[in-house]
Amino acid sequence: MVHVLHRVLWLTPIALLAVIAIVMVVKGLHKRLPYFFSYTSFVVLSNLAMLGVVIRPNPQLYFWGYWIQNLISWGLGLAAIYEIYANLLKEYTVLQKVGAYLFWIMGVVLVTIAVGTAFSAPGSDSHILRMFLTLERSVRIVECGLLVALFIFASFFGLSWKNYLFGIALGFAVFLSMQLAAIAIRIVAGVRFDQLFGWLQSIFYNFGVLVWTFYVVKRWRVEDLRLLPKTQLVEWNDTLQELLHR
């Protein structure tokens, strides 16, 4: 029963992400959000490729396949979060440029903080596994920090909970925040936490994918940010433009 549940938790997000990718193509969202589309497509294809390793167990091949897959998905996930910021600011030329700089500056600061603390935690894992775990924690700290900033300033962006960008950000927030907590516990607790760590990863990721599926598949009108009520961003954009042209 436990084995069946584990397979369900692994296969369900693959099926849902495939549905999300198809719906994005049908609705044309893959053109608006190419990084998020790439992320969903990569997770589906890479997990299908990993099925062969699961059917014919090879611990070493599974280890390296799992972590290489994760490294690529972390990069695409971070790019997808950046893409949300870029879409929110695309109607404000000056703010988009300033926002891009601030995004990367914030990312560098968060990475510096994360890397500075990553190797200070106790643990008894192998050096390679420990490196991957601490790297994952660093990436999750960066992503969670960027998502927190996004939700704090959501009102300034005129971003409502019915907007698909909000839904994508919320989906990331649901599983990234929980995964960050699980990773921190795993690094401290060591191998005895492996089984629970795997379950928590699967459960939280399923919740996040369900949020994405709801927002992408639901048949409400996708809000165009150009039609949203004007906020202080207009004034900020005009002010910055005037300052840059002096």
pLDDT level of residue 243 (50, 70, 90 thresholds): very low
Q: What type of residue is 133?
A: L
Quote the pLDDT of residue 88. Answer: 78
pLDDT level of residue 240 (50, 70, 90 thresholds): very low
The contacts found for 41-48 with CB under 8 angstroms, 24 or more apart, are 42/72, 42/73, 42/76, 43/13, 43/14, 43/17, 43/73, 44/14, 44/17, 44/18, 46/72, 46/73, 47/10, 47/14, 48/14
152-186 in b/e burial notation, b at 16+ Cβ within 10 A?
A: eebeebbbeeebbbbbbbbbbbbbbbbbbebbeeb
Three-state SS across 160-177?
A: CCCCHHHHHHHHHHHHHH
Q: Is the pTM of this model over 0.85?
A: no
pLDDT level of residue 91 (50, 70, 90 thresholds): low
User: Residue 48 to residues 17, 51, 55, 77, 160: CA-CA distances in angstroms?
Assistant: 12, 5, 11, 19, 35
Average pLDDT over the chain reads 76
pLDDT digits (tens, 9 = 90+) for 105-160: 766 776 666 566 555 555 545 666 767 777 777 788 888 888 888 888 776 666 77
Q: Count structural domains, the chain.
A: 1
The better pLDDT of the pair 11, 56 is held by 11
- Range of the structural domain that residue 226 is part of: 2-244
**Over 90: is that where the pLDDT of 20 sits?**
yes
User: Which phi and psi (to 5°) does residue 219 adopt?
Assistant: -90, 45
Instruction: Give the residue from 106, 244, 139, 125 showing the smallest Cα distance to 194.
Output: 125
pLDDT digits (tens, 9 = 90+) for 176-231: 988 888 777 777 776 667 677 778 888 889 999 999 999 998 855 445 444 444 45
**Over 90: is that where the pLDDT of 37 sits?**
yes
Highest mean pLDDT of the ranges 14-18, 82-86, 225-229 = 14-18
